[in-house]
Amino acid sequence: MNVLVTGANGFVGRHLCRHLANCGATVTGLVRSSPGAAAVAGSCARTVVGGNLGRDFSLPGEVLHGQEAVVHLAARVHVMRETEVDPDQAFSEINVLGTERLARLAAEAGVRRFLLLSTIKVNGEGSETVAYRGDDPPAPQDAYARSKWEAEQRLWRVCRETGLQGVVLRPPLVYGPGVGGNFLRLLRLAAKGWPLPFGCAAGQRSLLSVGNLADAIQRCLSHPAAVGRTFTLSDDHDLTTRELLTLLSAALGRSGPLLPIPAGFMRGLLGAMGQGAVADRLFGALRVDCREIRSQLDWTPPFSVEEAIQRTTAWFRDGEGESLRRS
């Protein structure tokens, strides 16, 4: 199979390109600028510099011709410290208009299938009682999530008008070797071995290892039952922050105690510091129901949570962790 992967040099893109190539696919990696090409040089048959996605995005015709599938990973992602005057417009330009433009170009070039990586944030920010499904009413709460929801709708419009086979995946937090963001912050905390105030962090959250995500994407590109579907997916093993930190600490050979400070107190403290969203992620629940992709595509996550965490902490020890210990 010939596959074009946008955002090929990103965290997910690097793992996906390698996985697809190992499965026998011929991968073309689309990157925003020339330096990104080096990151996927060993996994992609070729790399193409495409610049920024947006309303006027275009590609040389030969890039898409002959491709059987497009995996669209590139996006303007969630921004912790937003600097745009109009965040909705900034997200829309890249995530909505860019997705629609790419999907139309793909359809015109004869591409068969188009997979959009969306986000579970389209469903909402979490619930103590509900595990999110792909057919739930959308409830996006911020500009990023709203743009992803609209991108999904634009893709389905293109599919109806052209016959392009669309697939949408909504993952929760993705982790693995090379991860950044909040998961990397937890790794750094666990590596310190300090006492941490998360002994009462009991809200269950779904996570997804990048290896499991890459495998699910590969299945969606080839399985006929994936067409026209929106799937939520996870490792199918939910963890509280307390349990996650315990696993990370053990894998890193650390034993910092988790102090039983009441979750309500920690939420109030973090909220007073302007970190209410961080408090929600540490103490709140966000569970994902992945039964549909398992049943419809006969997909099972190939990596257990324990295996995925071992792989992630091994990467951390070998690179990020070494610099941390020397500091």
| Cα–Cα dist 21/3, whole Å | 10
Question: Whole-angstrom Cα distance, residue 100 to residue 90?
Answer: 15
Claim to verify: residue 34 and residue 15 sit in the same structural domain: yes
Q: State pTM to two decimals.
A: 0.93
Read off the amino acid at residue 145. A
292 belongs to a structural domain: no
The answer to whether residues 241 and 286 touch, using CB atoms and an 8 Å cutoff, is no
Assess whether 10 and 106 both reside in one domain: yes
- Both 116 and 188 in a single domain? no
Residue 34: per-residue pLDDT: 75
Q: In terms of domains, do 137 and 214 share one? A: yes
Residue 205 pLDDT: 96
The reply to whether 124 falls in a domain is yes
Do 221 and 201 fall into the same domain? no
Q: What is the spatial distance between Cα 310 and Cα 177, in angstroms, rounded to a whole number?
A: 10
Place of tokens 């937003």: 82
Q: Which domain CATH number covers 37?
A: 3.40.50.720
Residues 22 and 88 in one domain: yes
Active-site residue, from 11, 144, 149, 231: 144
Same domain membership, residue 183 and residue 166: no
Residues 110 and 49 in one domain: yes
Token digits of residue 14: 């690097």
Q: 88 with 222, same domain?
A: yes
Residues 80, 98, single domain; the answer is yes
Q: How far is the C-alpha of 202 from the C-alpha of 94, rounded, in Å?
A: 36
Return the structure tokens found at 182: 């909040």
Residue 3, both tokens: 């596959």
Residue with tokens 């693995």: 176
Checking DSSP bridges between strand 2-6 and strand 69-72, what pairing results, if any?
parallel
Question: Does some domain include residue 272?
Answer: yes
Looking at the structure of the chain, the number of domains it has is 2
Question: Which residue among 216, 232, 248 closes a domain?
Answer: 232
Q: Which long-range contacts (CB under 8 A, 24 or more apart) does 135-140 make?
A: 135/230
Question: In this structure, is residue 294 part of a structural domain?
Answer: no
The two structure tokens encoding residue 144: 């990023």
- Helical residues (DSSP H) of the chain, grouped into ranges: 11-22, 61-64, 87-91, 98-108, 143-162, 181-192, 210-222, 241-251, 263-272, 276-283, 291-296, 305-318, 320-326
Closest CA to 102 of 143, 73, 144: 73
Q: What is the 3-state secondary structure (H, E, C) of 166-202?
A: EEEEECCEEECCCCCHHHHHHHHHHHHCCCECCCCCC
In a domain, 84, yes or no: yes
78 inside domain: yes
Any idea how long the chain is? 327
pLDDT of residue 80: 55
Q: Is residue 147 part of a domain?
A: yes
What pLDDT is recorded for position 325? 41
In a domain, 87, yes or no: yes
Residue 120's pLDDT is 98
Residue 218 near residue 226 (C-beta atoms within 8 A): no
In whole angstroms, what is the distance from residue 12 CA to residue 188 CA? 21
What pLDDT score was predicted for residue 84? 67
What's the average pLDDT block by block, 10 residues per block, for the chain (327 residues)?
A: 95 96 95 77 84 77 92 84 74 94 95 98 93 96 95 98 98 96 94 94 96 98 98 97 96 92 94 91 95 97 97 90 43
Neighbours of 175 (CB within 10 A): 28
pLDDT score for 56 = 76
pLDDT (0 to 100) of residue 86: 78
Q: Are both 164 and 191 inside the same structural domain?
A: no
CATH number at residue 197: 3.90.25
Question: Structural domain of residue 194, as residue ranges?
Answer: 178-206+237-287+299-326
142 & 21 share domain: yes
Beta pairing, strands 69-72 & 26-31: unpaired
Q: How far is CA 59 from CA 28, 72, 117, 157, 302, in A?
A: 13, 14, 20, 21, 35
Check if 144 is active-site.
Answer: yes
